[in-house]
Amino acid sequence: MPLLELHFATTRLGQQYFGPFNLSIAAGERVAILGPSGAGKTTLLKLMARECRPHAGRVTFGGRPLEQWPLMELALRRAVLPQASNVAFGLQAELVIGLGRVARLFDPQLHHIVQQAAALAHASHLLGRRMDSMSGGEQARVQLARIFAQLWDVEDGLVLVDEPLAALDPGLQFELLDSIANFCRARGHAVVAILHDINHALLGFERLLLVRSGQLVGDIASDADAVPKLAALYGIALTTATNSAGDVCVVPAKTPAKMPAKKTRAAHSAYLSRGHY
């Protein structure tokens, strides 16, 4: 049974329709959502997270309609990191991380899990600091630690993240990609992530969902065969390379503009004869 399934799920924002989306996610899968800005990636993730309800079709989680899950029960199996996770008050980092555990009425391991989740998110040095004193990248690490804490002691859960690496430097991006992968692999969690970096998707995920104009236009393996479809998705040229580990990487380039055809000698002579100098 799929962990998460969308069956002809369709929704509408204003006058724009999104879907129908037909896809399933298995426990333990690592799936990246890619597409141009405004393509509907976040809307698709919100359908998966129950933040946006389908106008038609259905979304099921663990074999049950998603809307039938009690929120407290759902919070024990599904964690969501939205694109913006602003904290209204100057809470300390450990309190924000601990918010991932609020669905548990009795949580004797809270302190220990907060500490370990912070370490996995490279945020241990931020414990004791207020969120409003941190940079965007530091806040992102604390919020990721909150997601880790939420699903720390369960199995076969679902992690949904929207641009989790956007505010981070390149080195930390790769480290946190590894942290997410290791966290989910150890517990059998599926992870679905919206990404803008094609190389992160190719290197860190096994499956790609391609979204354009509110439609799912591709559901493909993350390998070298995906490169032409990614180039078409973004309308760019992609040059492939292989790193020392044998992984396929891409270098994006602007598609060359078409050059006007050269004038023939006869046309050029006629042009000059008309007094154009």
Residue in the block written with tokens 């004791």:
128
125 has pLDDT over 90? yes
Chain position carrying tokens 């309190």: 95
Sorted by where each starts, the structural domains of the chain and their CATH numbers stand as 4-77+156-273 (3.40.50.300), 85-153 (no CATH)
Q: Residue 274 has what pLDDT?
A: 44
Going by their DSSP bridges, the two strands 64-65 and 56-61 should be labelled as: antiparallel
pLDDT band at 264 (very low <50, low <70, confident <90, very high): very low
According to the model, what pLDDT value does residue 252 have?
85
Q: What is the pLDDT of residue 167?
A: 72
Predicted confidence (pLDDT) per residue in 178-235, tens digit: 999 999 999 999 999 999 999 999 999 999 999 999 999 999 999 989 999 999 999 9
For the sheet with 78-81, list strands across it: 78-81, 158-162, 190-194, 30-34, 207-212, 215-221
pLDDT surpasses 80 at 263: no
Check whether 260 has a pLDDT greater than 60. no
Q: Can you give the pTM of this predicted structure?
A: 0.88
DSSP 198: H
Cβ-contact 168, 176 below 8 angstroms: yes
Mean pLDDT of the region 9-38 = 94
